[in-house]
Structure formats: structure tokens, C-alpha cells
Amino acid sequence: MKAYERLLKYVSVHTKSDDDSQTVPSTARQFDLAKLLVEEMKAIGIADAHVDDKCYVYGSIPATPGYEAKPALGFIAHMDTAPDFSGEGVKPRIIEDYDGGEVVLGDSGRVLKPADFPHLKNLRGRTLIVTDGTTLLGADDKAGIAEIMSAAERIINENIPHGRLLVSFTPDEEVGRGADNFDVGHFGAEFAYTVDGGQENVIEYENFNAAGVRVEINGFNVHPGSAKDIMINALLVACEFNSMLPSGETPRDTEGYEGFYHLCDISGTTEHAAMEYILRDHSAEIMKARKATLLHIEKLLNAKYGEGTVKVTIRDQYLNMAEKIKPCFHLIDNACEAVRDLGLEALTAPIRGGTDGARLSFMGLPCPNLGTGGYAYHGPYEHITVEGMELATGIILGIIGKYAK
């Protein structure tokens, strides 16, 4: 079965995760895809395929006789789709010989435009898969699952020589919990790749250091007619707090290795207000400076309005996996060679976000990220090409071949 055919099957299963849920997994519906995948894995010859009680799917392919000493290599993708947009009732549309122009997305009123997504012109002539504009597609990361499954099927059916191979499909990556209950020891890989990126020829091994921040502001509310030098309007203090951050260091204003402060939510009344930020930076030192900036603003505003007016709480989320990948850079060299073997230019790029692989790398499983061929994730403009998925599958096979040598 082709990778894109698997994708079309998988996206019909609703697997959106829930950031507000405290259950594991965050949504029980993720088990629907997990069970389907276990059945399919067994059907193609992965005899030990199983799903555990936390919705992690595991399976292994024994090494080809004589290749047992080769490194045990893993491939990982996630089953959930982003909470940002609907993932239920996905209706994919296949456009053969795409002309590189605008695509009307069903009756949604939305249009996929090269003006918004300049890379579309490079997809001219390919077979494009899009949504009807009312849901996301789910290629993030069901395309990764499909490509791993298709590569595994070819490895088994075509008797391609290989060391021991490990496969896992995880829940809740989109809500930052995909590695929480991943059993590295049970998985059994020495090295692994997540298949959860974008353009198929891009390999990623650097990601943001990340932290979440909550700012609590306690105001003092009295009648506005007699508020002179007494009232402390928590909402205005919140605005003042935000105005003291560097105005050009937001997601809209940054790219590449540049970090940012991102105000995600603000709510409150005169009496009390709260703000939620995320901090991101590739540099650990600059990340420390960003945290220090927030704490300095807290200090200044408390000196101005009274101790306890502002409280900043910072929670580290994940770290830049580059420090764990660089000592085993063969992971990147072999992936780049596999890309070039298919006639593509091998590119490396920093991830302006994080992956399960970042956390897994710090859990003892070095794990860079491969592209799936998908674009515009997390929304109705998500799209992918049949050809990109075939190339991504070929890159997985190429990497397996490198480690079998």
C-alpha cells in the first residue's frame, strides 16, 4: 500500500488531543487509531505489535540474519492531531497534476493561495492533497505514521537487509505530553528519528529551549470616583507589564534562530488579571536572559505598586536537543546522504518549536526529526503531496540502508 493511501485511511479517524484534559491519553479516541495500527502492523509482519494502557504503540522487526550487531534503529510518529482546529470528519481532496495556482477549499470560503504559501509553486505537477477548508488534514502526523508503515512493509516484503528496527506511535504530542510515558527501555532502540517535520528533504536536530510563563496581577479596586492614588487596575498593570517587553521580539517579528516572548492569553478584571506567555530561544544563555527580564519587570512593578502585586511563575518545558545530537552526528550525516541519494538537496534547519524527539533525546534516546512532505500544519490550509510522501518513505529506507552497512 502506498503511503498516501494509508494517510487517507488514517485521517478518517478522529484523534484530536485535549490540552485541558488530565487523563492519559488526553482523549480516549486516540486508542481508535492505535488499535487500527496494531492490526495493520501485525498484518504486514510485525508480530509483536501492541498498544499499552497509556496508548503507546510499539513493535519491532528483527534484524536480518547476520546483521544483529548493527545499531538498533527506531522510527516514531504521533497519532493525535492539534487541538487548535477541528480534526473530525476530514474530507481530503486529491488534485492530480497540480498547476501551482490557487485552490478553493470546498464551500468553506477559504482559498489556498501561493501568495500566502510561496512554496506552492514548487509543487506544480505533483498530486496535491488538501482539505475542504472546514478541518485540518491530519498529515501532522498521520503522514509520518503512513511513511513509517510503508517503509516497514517494504523492508519485510522485499527482504531489504537491516539491523533491528523499532517502531512506535505516540499519543498527545500536540499537547506537549507525547514523551511523558514513552518507555525508552522497552522500545529498545540505540538511536531513533521522529518523522514529524515538513518539507521532505529537511532534517532537523536543533529546536527551541522552551518555557511557559504565568503572570498573576493582584489589583486594588475601589469606586472610581474616589480612586485617586488608591486604585490599582490589574488590567492596566498587565498592559504595562507587556509594554516593558521588547516590542520586536514576538513570533510575528522573528525567524530562524531568533527567539521570542509570545503572549498567548490575557484575562481579568480591575481586581485581578492573568497572562500566559511562552518563551522560546535556541540559545540557552539568551533563554536565561529572557527569564531574567520577566523577573526584573516583576521587581519593578512590585516596587511601584506594592509587594505582591505581580507574581511571575516560570515553568521549563523542553530543551534544545542539539547538545544530545552533536555527539552522534552520524544521525544527521546518514539522513543527509539518504536525501541526496534520491537526487534532492539535503537541508538542515532549526525547528521553531519542539518535538517529542527533543525530550526523548534528553531521556537517553538521541532522536532528530525527518520531514513528512507536509505543509501548513494545524489548520484548514494543511496540505501534502503524494510524491513528497513517497520521497519521505524513500529517505527512511535509505537511512535504514546506511545503518545496515
Q: Which letter, b or e, does each residue of 360-384 get, where b requires 16 or more Cβ atoms within 10 Å of its Cβ?
A: bbbeebbbbbbbbbbbbbebbbbbb
For residue 153, indicate whether it is catalytic.
no
CA distance 114 to 109: 16
Q: 139-157 and 30-44 helices cross at what angle (nearest 10)?
A: 10
Which of 73, 72, 63, 71 is closest to 161 using CA atoms? Answer: 63
Closest by Cα among 71, 150, 95, 37 to 393: 150
Alpha-carbon torsion angle 377, 378, 379, 384, nearest 10: 30
- Check if the beta carbon of residue 170 is closer than 8 Å to that of residue 31: no
Q: How far apart are CA 31 and CA 168, in angstroms?
A: 14
The strand order across the sheet containing 202-204 reads: 50-51, 57-61, 165-170, 73-78, 191-197, 369-371, 202-204, 347-348
Residues whose CB is less than 8 angstroms from the CB of residue 300 and which lie 6 or more positions away in sequence, other chains included: 244
80 is catalytic: yes
Whether residue 48 is preceded by a cis peptide bond, meaning omega within 30 degrees of 0, is: no
Q: What is the rounded CA–CA span in Å between residue 336 and residue 227? A: 65
Q: Grid coordinates representing 67? A: 546483521
Per annotation, catalytic residue among 140, 173, 196, 356:
173
- Selected catalytic residue, list 80, 132, 153, 382: 80
* Residue the block writes with cell 511562552: 278
The DSSP annotation for 188-257 comes to --SEEEEEEESSTTEEE--B-EEEEEEEEEE-B---GGG-TTT-B-HHHHHHHHHHTS-TT-SGGG--TT
Catalytic residues: 80, 173
